[in-house]
A and B are shown apart, each in its own frame.
Chain A
Amino acid sequence: MSAAEDTLERQDQLQGIGCSRKRKEDPRFIQGKGNYVDDVKLPGMLCGAIVRSPFAHAKIVSINKEKALALPGVHAVITADDLKPLGLHWMPTLAGDTQAVLADEKVAFQQQEVAMVVADDRYIAADGAELVEVEYEVLPALVDPHKAMDDDAPIIRDDLVGKDEAGQGKRTHNNHIFTWDVGDKDATDRAFDNAEVTVREEILNPRVHPSPLETCGCVASFDKINGALTVYITSQAPHIVRTVITLLSGIAESKVRVISPDIGGGFGNKVGVYPGYVVAIVSSIVLGRPVKWIESRIDNISTTAFARDYHGIGELAADKNGVIKALRFSALADHGAFNAHAQPTKWPAGLFSICTGSYDIPVAYARVDGVYTNKAPGGVAYRCSFRVTEAVYLIERMIDVLAQKLDIDKAEIRRRNFIKAEQFPYQSALGWEYDSGNYLPALEKVLEACDYEGLRKEQAEKRAKGELMGIGLCTFTEIVGAGPSKACDVLGVGMFDSCEIRVHPTGSAIARMGTITQGQGHQTTYAQIIASELGLSSDDIQIEEGDTDTAPYGLGTYGSRSTPVGGAATAMAARTIRAKAQKIAAHLLEVSPDDVEWDVDRFQVKGNPDAVKTMKEVAWAAYNNVPEGMEMGLETVNYYDPPNFTYPFGIYLCVVDIDRHTGETSIRRFYALDDCGNRINPMIIEGQIHGGLNEAFAVAMGQLISFDEDGNLQGNSLMDYFIPTFVETPHWETDYTVTPSPHHPLGAKGVAESPHVGGIPCFSNAVIDAFAHKGVTHVNMPHTAFNVWKTIHQLGLDN
């Protein structure tokens, strides 16, 4: 065997970075041995059921608990009045607002939490909840965000009357939460005034819900003897939950243990702290018994964490050649009854300012006004980085609108506006420094793979026959990996993340992270990083997450931040260990540390391939034979504060055929090229892209949380709320290029959200493109058969 072959073989054995390692999580899941929150059963455990408001806006006249309390097996009925003496009837939100834990004198959205019945089991709890009698005096409901700041609008938040601030800056109306703006308004306005061409369009991201298959829930267990609280919880950010619990309850953080066990999907739904958690915890403290609370699907869709609800107007200014000169945007953000959106605390519109996208736009201005309405609170990043879906939807729709106005091909207009490879690192007009990108070759790769010219030709032929075929393009740039702590924090905690690695004497290791997997395969991929960095087999590396008693503090998993931040922490921790190992190896080899070099899984004396110490040998020595003055052991913890975000990009192409009689859209082809920098596990990346595309498909083609004018929620079960099945879901084609991040230790960027963020505008662009020859530049999501048919019918194309 040659030296090169030997190296390759040793590399393969590690199953490190770049290999499609099979997942370590799978054996338990395929045998029904996952451990999700609802699987947790503790001795003496009680169950909670929430009594919810049937009305969107109403005063609570009275609550009568007697019948419920009389039911055998009911232990407590908790209302706001019970929480008041504890100061727990309101709680802080991540966005600086406060939210009623249980409705305090009034309800402000339908299904709001009014009381919790705690009983022996879920059957009795449900019976008890039916017996709690609540009398309401119904108030006029405010549903339309455009009417929120009318003079005569109903006041949603009586508690804020007279206050000119609600946690995120000045407000100007009782239902106003904040104004956020970014960019040079005057210069932008001037650019529009002087532009050869301008376009303007409504850019609407309707209210949707992430709906992971597992709903939210928790088991709270308070140990009265030790004053210690353990909470099993469906959380994407268990450490933040621990801090919030301490801030709320006053229990020392060292006595609060939060465990996120297996999580059945998150997609942003499981970032926030919800009233159900808080009441279950209080119940456990009061009753001294474990209390479980698990949402129903209807509760989940109705109350915990909607996404989007951005009602905007987008504008582009350009020259006659389609070169963009300026971008302008304004939006109303409907935050519901409490400002509980899950964003870095100082970012009321998240990272929306990424909205200049992949294009070299000299000047831009964006403004978002948050308003209260009688709807559930939330505003989470549904499989995206904070408000990045909204931002990408804006620019990717508007560039199509501009192309149509100027009759420029939709691929060509992108070519003309792309940031060029040599411009990186690129300073965007709205303040970001894009780390790396190479858009044009990626676009050409996709166009060629799909025979774009051929598709356009076919489209022209179909149009001549009256058939509807659309080609959608989306060439997006994301911003993920929050984030540099100087820019991002959650409740004052910087958005670093962490990894602790311990290498055991016999050369296996355990690593613990501040992130938490919800299906992304962290147990598999983090081990690959460590394997490559330390030369230990992946199979000998255990990854643990989610238990705040053992894992180092971390901000959790959302916004595609695990690889950019947690992965970086892992690499950095491993490198610290390797640096120490190098000294030990040199000591064992009796040379200077500078005289040894790393070779896959071992240190070798430079120029002497026979003088080697494997990492396993070094690990053993770390516990019995270290250089003079060195501490024993081989472990470290790294808290990684990234210098910048990462900026993955993608080029997507979608071909649709629309049935002009029924409005049904069939996805003939969806081709997704993603560039997430260096790739750790291609199999998992591909799986993430498939899943993200499917969620994009769901949002673009059918998802909608809708209300009537009285604030009654419509379609809050899976009968109506669109989750595509095997039958509706299209086939996905994936591709990639690699443009490493220059600042990430592994050159990696994060990927799971790109397909959602980039997929949604791609579907929309395809559907709208099908009508482009009829002068249509825009229709709103979701593109249900009914909605598409309305366009068809209006244009008379169904005759």
Chain B
Amino acid sequence: MAKTQLSFNLNGQDVDVLVEPRELLIHVLREQLMQTGAHIGCETSHCGACTVDINGQSVKSCTFLAVQAQGAEVMTVEGLASGGELHPLQAAFMEEHGLQCGFCTPGMLMRGYRFLQENPNPSEDDIRQGMAGNLCRCTGYQNIIKSIQKAAADINAADNA
């Protein structure tokens, strides 16, 4: 099948790749663009390990054709830290032991990143509902919730400073 020229912005940089229309975004990110942070966990859009941010929305990139990202702003976990500084959410995951094997973590962070913009002052229940598309087998979620709460507090404190 003929390949298509695909251009989009990945973590602030314009990228051009040749893809087959059937190629899934997750594969293009991981195998062509070597951004292996997003992972493949279930392939049926249940686990959220492949979550990336597309045009300001959380998307499961295992169920999204790469060609659909034409012209889009795509952000992956690799783009979360900026200027050599961890994003508060990354720091909070470390601080609150919000990860163990690390496989779900990039998806959790990317969903958490967007979720905190949708809801900067979430309750525990808000977090449980807002993060419900991401599975973790290791943590029992409790420390992820704490991490997100801490990140929310840190971000709000920084905004108010």
Distance A731 CA – B22 CA, assembled complex (angstroms): 41
The yes or no answer to A449 lying at the interface (CB within 8 A) is no
Given contacts A22-B94, A213-B137, A691-B139, contact A262 B102 (CB under 8 A): yes
The yes or no answer to B150 lying at the interface (CB within 8 A) is no
Proximity string of chain B (29-68) to chain A, C-beta cutoff 8 Å, 1 when within and 0 when not: 0110011111111111011010000000000000000000
Proximity string of chain A (30-42) to chain B, C-beta cutoff 8 Å, 1 when within and 0 when not: 1111101011010
Q: Are A694 and B22 in contact (CB under 8 A)?
A: no
Residues in chain A near residue B46, CB distance under 8 A: 717-719, 723
Residues in chain A near residue B145, CB distance under 8 A: 726
Chain A interface, number of residues (Cβ within 8 angstroms): 58
Residues in chain A near residue B141, CB distance under 8 A: 690, 694, 726, 729
Residues in chain A near residue B135, CB distance under 8 A: 213, 718, 723, 725
Q: Which residue of B lies closest to A28 (CB)?
A: B102
Residues in chain A near residue B18, CB distance under 8 A: none
Q: Are B103 and A690 in contact (CB under 8 A)?
A: no
The binding surface of chain A is classed by DSSP as: loop
The yes or no answer to B118 lying at the interface (CB within 8 A) is no
Q: Are B143 and A687 in contact (CB under 8 A)?
A: yes
Proximity string of chain A (657-696) to chain B, C-beta cutoff 8 Å, 1 when within and 0 when not: 0000000000000000000000000011011111111110
Distance A367 CA – B42 CA, assembled complex (angstroms): 38
Q: Which of A451-459, A518-526, A527-535, A567-575 contacts B (4 or more CB under 8 A)?
A: A518-526
Q: Are B137 and A32 in contact (CB under 8 A)?
A: no
Query: In this complex, which of B100, B132, B133, B144 has the most chain A Cβ atoms within 10 angstroms of its Cβ?
Result: B100
Q: Are B43 and A265 in contact (CB under 8 A)?
A: no
Distance A39 CA – B106 CA, assembled complex (angstroms): 14
Query: In this complex, which of A28, A31, A33 has the most chain B Cβ atoms within 10 angstroms of its Cβ?
Result: A31
CB distance from A674 to the nearest CB of B (A): 14
The yes or no answer to B10 lying at the interface (CB within 8 A) is no
Residues in chain A near residue B30, CB distance under 8 A: 38-39
Q: Are B80 and A31 in contact (CB under 8 A)?
A: yes
Distance A521 CA – B100 CA, assembled complex (angstroms): 7
Proximity string of chain A (19-56) to chain B, C-beta cutoff 8 Å, 1 when within and 0 when not: 00011011111111110101101000000000000000
CB distance from B53 to the nearest CB of A (A): 13
The yes or no answer to B81 lying at the interface (CB within 8 A) is yes
Residues in chain A near residue B158, CB distance under 8 A: none
Distance A262 CA – B134 CA, assembled complex (angstroms): 20
The yes or no answer to B131 lying at the interface (CB within 8 A) is yes
Q: Which residue of B lies closest to A27 (CB)?
A: B94
Residues in chain B near residue A31, CB distance under 8 A: 37, 77-78, 80-81, 86, 90
Which of B41, B49, B105, B132 lies in contact with A727, CB distance below 8 A? B132
Q: Are A212 and B101 in contact (CB under 8 A)?
A: yes
Distance A158 CA – B127 CA, assembled complex (angstroms): 54
List 3 A-B pairs, minimum CB-CB distance, nearest first: A32-B37, A264-B103, A519-B101
Can you spell out 15 A-B residue pairs with CB atoms less than 8 angstroms apart? Answer: A22-B97, A33-B78, A41-B31, A213-B41, A213-B49, A264-B41, A264-B103, A684-B97, A686-B97, A687-B97, A687-B143, A688-B100, A725-B133, A726-B134, A727-B128
